[in-house]
Copies of this chain bind each other. A is one copy, B any other.
Amino acid sequence: MSKLLIVGTVAFDAIETPFGKTEKILGGAATYIGLAASQFNVESGIVSIVGGDFPKGYLEMLNSKNIDTTGIEIVKNGKTFFWRGKYHNDLNTRDTLTTELNVLADFKPVVPKKFQNPDFLMLGNLHPSVQMSVIKQISKRPKLVVLDTMNFWMDNTWDELIEVIKKIDVITINDEEARQLSGEYSLVRAAHKIHKMGPEYVIIKKGEHGALLFNKKNVFFAPALPLEDVFDPTGAGDTFAGGFIGYLASTRDISFENMKRAIIYGSNLASFSVEKFGTRQMEDLTKKEVQDRLQDFKQLTQFEIELH
């Protein structure tokens, strides 16, 4: 079974959408990535940090999904990273109301021995110096390294981010971030430029408009599933990334053809994630539900045309 190491936040979120609001619930990039990857046959472990206020029950829930949490440092007298946000009516934009870094401010990741030689490495959205520190603790080059990042790090830690980007295989960013990183408006041109910065594969996430996968020769597109209602978009991008790397890790096949399947799985899982608040839907999701929805993705995208 492939070993998948995930580094990223494990956090509290408080979310308000037009459909309701929550107080502090389980959140964080590594949480969503781990839950999505747990849909596949992988041995995954999370490297992160939480405070003494983090409920043991959350860790047990992750363990019950076969996610190793020994790499989640618990700072007894510290507080867990907390984000509070409010989505606008269109659910495409949101305001951050509170960001309390807490224990994350001094996070020095320590990769447990068991995961120092992972087959797959997922660097969730975090300070690039933390991502780099994890890369340096890995003894043998993994089969695939996937990086997620965001505009905040482009604005504030450009040089460090560029160094990390040189060392990875796949980058996942949204369309605006691809434009910022490359200085190109056309996403095709943006992907070409980003290839030259290091990553052989570029995934551009367009939210409700789907996602594009580029290598130097090919492009593949996975739409988002049109839904009657999107309830809470929090974690959709992380769920997508977790589904992508989880599928690749379970199949141990990093061909472009298999990456196509992987981003369909990522889109599939993301479509569930947005249907309930927080991680609720992902905690209860069955393999049967995922398979049934795969049929919806096929109907949505597959056609037969004879070429002349």
Is A257 part of the binding interface, using a Cβ–Cβ cutoff of 8 Å? yes
- Among B212, B294, B299, B302, which residue has its beta carbon within 8 angstroms of that of A226? B212
- Among B185, B221, B229, B291, which residue has its beta carbon within 8 angstroms of that of A308? B291
- Among B188, B299, B300, B305, which residue has its beta carbon within 8 angstroms of that of A228? B188
Query: Is the Cβ of B206 less than 8 Å from the Cβ of A209?
Result: yes
Query: Is the Cβ of B226 less than 8 Å from the Cβ of A223?
Result: no
Instruction: List the B side residues contacting A284 at CB < 8 Å.
Output: none
Is A93 part of the binding interface, using a Cβ–Cβ cutoff of 8 Å? no
A295 CA to B305 CA, complexed, in Å: 10
Q: Residue on B with the closest CB to A227?
A: B188
- Chain A 266-305 interface 0/1 with B at a Cβ cutoff of 8 Å (1 = within): 0000000000000000000001000100110011111111
Is A196 part of the binding interface, using a Cβ–Cβ cutoff of 8 Å? no
* Shortest distance from the beta carbon of A109 to any chain B beta carbon, whole Å: 35
Instruction: List the B side residues contacting A228 at CB < 8 Å.
Output: 186, 188-189
A146 CA to B32 CA, complexed, in Å: 44
How many copies of this chain does one complex carry? 2
A230 CA to B187 CA, complexed, in Å: 11
Is A152 part of the binding interface, using a Cβ–Cβ cutoff of 8 Å? no
Query: Is the Cβ of B261 less than 8 Å from the Cβ of A186?
Result: no
Q: Residue on B with the closest CB to A228?
A: B188
Q: Residue on B with the closest CB to A187?
A: B226
- Chain A 217-241 interface 0/1 with B at a Cβ cutoff of 8 Å (1 = within): 0111101001111100000000000
Query: Is the Cβ of B226 less than 8 Å from the Cβ of A303?
Result: no
Query: Is the Cβ of A220 less than 8 Å from the Cβ of B188?
Result: no
- Chain A 248-264 interface 0/1 with B at a Cβ cutoff of 8 Å (1 = within): 00000000010011001
Instruction: List the B side residues contacting A227 at CB < 8 Å.
Output: 186, 188
* Shortest distance from the beta carbon of A223 to any chain B beta carbon, whole Å: 5
- Chain A 196-221 interface 0/1 with B at a Cβ cutoff of 8 Å (1 = within): 00000000001001101000001111
- Chain A 129-165 interface 0/1 with B at a Cβ cutoff of 8 Å (1 = within): 0000000000000000000000000000000000000
Instruction: List the B side residues contacting A185 at CB < 8 Å.
Output: 89-90
Query: Is the Cβ of A300 less than 8 Å from the Cβ of B220?
Result: yes
A36 CA to B260 CA, complexed, in Å: 31
**Given that A218-B299, A291-B307, A307-B295 are contacting pairs, would A188 and B226 also be in contact in the complex, using a CB cutoff of 8 Å?**
yes
Q: List 30 A–B pairs whose Cβ atoms lie within 8 Å, in order of A's numbering.
A: A89-B185, A186-B227, A186-B228, A187-B226, A188-B228, A189-B228, A206-B209, A209-B209, A209-B210, A210-B210, A219-B299, A220-B299, A220-B300, A220-B303, A221-B223, A221-B226, A221-B300, A221-B301, A257-B303, A257-B304, A261-B303, A264-B305, A291-B307, A294-B305, A294-B307, A295-B307, A298-B305, A298-B307, A301-B301, A302-B302
Query: Could you list which residues of chain A lie within 8 angstroms of chain B, going by C-beta atoms?
Result: 89-90, 185-189, 206, 209-210, 212, 218-221, 223, 226-230, 257, 260-261, 264, 287, 291, 294-295, 298-305, 307-308
Other A-B pairs beyond A186-B228, A264-B305, A302-B303, 6, CB < 8 Å: A188-B226, A219-B226, A221-B300, A260-B303, A294-B305, A298-B305
